[in-house]
Structure 1
């Protein structure tokens, strides 16, 4: 009997990452990546075959240690992210650096370290991007730039690794009802209304559809927007 496929989801303690882990749990063993060990342990206890995978994604040495022993990986979902906002004039170097370290460099390094395991499984890499990965606007420069870079990374990885059996999908959700979105509403100065946004579960269903697509299909870019109400 074949072994149940293994999925690693970063940012799995809350929001979109938690919803993705929940969606994959019926068919996958799930590694729950994140920094909040208590939240990860609680989430792992709620899922049938999941365990915590605590790591600081911006620490290359910690990442290298964390992936040791993973020799076969069917699904890698990059859901962890930050959103540092501000105009070009007001945003300092640290703000831009944080956007890039979490949203780009951590994605690149974790993927690089896990490529042998992904190739062994003919695996699937999913990058949770953003509408800002397609369009930049005033006040969102550092975040949008990091998401443009994440899109370029996914596109490059797809071209390089499709001959090795990998599939690479970028998901571009619009505004989603998460803690991050609540913080953004505060920064932008408007009232947060979760009913106006996508549900994290809706984004997770798009991820599930991508990774369960028939083997002849390669979902490359999936854009989701909240319906007008």
Structure 2
């Protein structure tokens, strides 16, 4: 992406999102970092000097419109990077509507709503939307019903958006990382009752490299779907 680009990033506080934000910040791009609340926004501003923040709770997508109406959205958006996500494992006989709604809201409905609000800027910049999906967005396993459903839905959102916005020059990429060493992975292992060894899983930096490759690709090409698996 030539010149100074503006990136809106969710999930910049940890894991893959943090790795991506650090790389883009280091090269001098403008960052708009999504934060759940004012306290989190303050932390992110301290960590990434010069970045601006956008506050709204992804767990309550119905309220994002209201939250954004009280803030100024960026004038320009070269990339919208959906990296935030939540996971709560459980068998179908254990998962409650609350757990279903929480994962669907954060992982699917909020990305759709955030995209809707920023589409005018993305169209104007002929920008790029990246959805960090999951291996669970391609195959669902026992105990992963709600999370995998949210991620299968995210694939559908990306595929539909790509077809709709192609005429406007907006590129759409879905990235499907396998298990990545992150706080989320530590939580998954805890829920599975397994010992967590980060060295067994993908380094968030490797996923960040993949995301940067997608957004830095010349405009004549678009990476649609990229699957990343742990190496040897």
- Quickly say closer, same or farther: Cα 1:63–1:216, change in 2 above 3 A: farther
1:114-137: per-residue Cα shift (whole Å, max 9, x none)? Answer: 100100110000000000000000
Aligned to 2:51: 50
Counterpart for residue 16 of structure 1:
16
Larger mean Cα displacement after TM superposition, 166-175 or 64-73: 64-73
Structure 1 residue 47 displacement after superposition: 3.6
State the alpha-carbon separation in 1 of the partners of residues 110 and 78 from structure 2.
Answer: 19
The match for 1:86 is 90
Single out whichever of 35-44 and 192-201 deviates more from structure 2: 35-44
Tell me how far apart the structure 1 counterparts of residues 64 and 36 of structure 2 sit (CA, whole Å): 15
- Alignment CA distance shift 1:195-1:66 (3 Å): farther
Deviations for 1:164-204, whole angstroms, at most 9, x for unmatched residues?
Answer: 01000001001011111101000001100000011111111
Task: Identify the match of residue 163 of structure 2 among 159, 165, 176.
Answer: 159
Is residue 2:206 matched to residue 1:179?
Answer: no
How far apart in 1 are the matches of 2:111 and 2:71?
Answer: 13
CA contact (8 A) 1:126 1:168 kept: yes
Measure, in 2, the Cα distance between the counterparts of 1:67 and 1:30. 16
CA contact (8 A) 1:41 1:51 kept: no
**SS of residue matched to 1:118:** helix
Helix, strand or coil: the match of 1:170?
Answer: strand
CA 36–18 in structure 1, closer or farther in 2 if over 3 Å, else same: farther
TM-score, normalising length: structure 1: 0.93
Equivalent position SS for 1:177: coil
Shift of 1:48: 5.5
Tell me, in whole angstroms, the C-alpha distance in 1 between the residues paired with 2:71 and 2:164.
22
Unaligned runs of 5+ in 2: none
Residue in structure 1 matched with residue 221 of structure 2 by the alignment = 217
Mapped contact 1:71–1:116 kept (Cα < 8 A): no
How many residue pairs were aligned?
Answer: 227
Give the one of 193, 198, 203 matched to 2:202: 198
Tell me which residue corresponds to 2:35: 34
Q: Distance in 2 between matches of 1:93 and 1:147?
A: 17
Conserved 8 A contact 1:84-1:98: no
What TM-score, normalized by structure 2, do the two folds share? 0.91
* Residue equivalent to 2:7: 7
Between the aligned partners of 2:225 and 2:28, the Cα distance in structure 1 is: 23
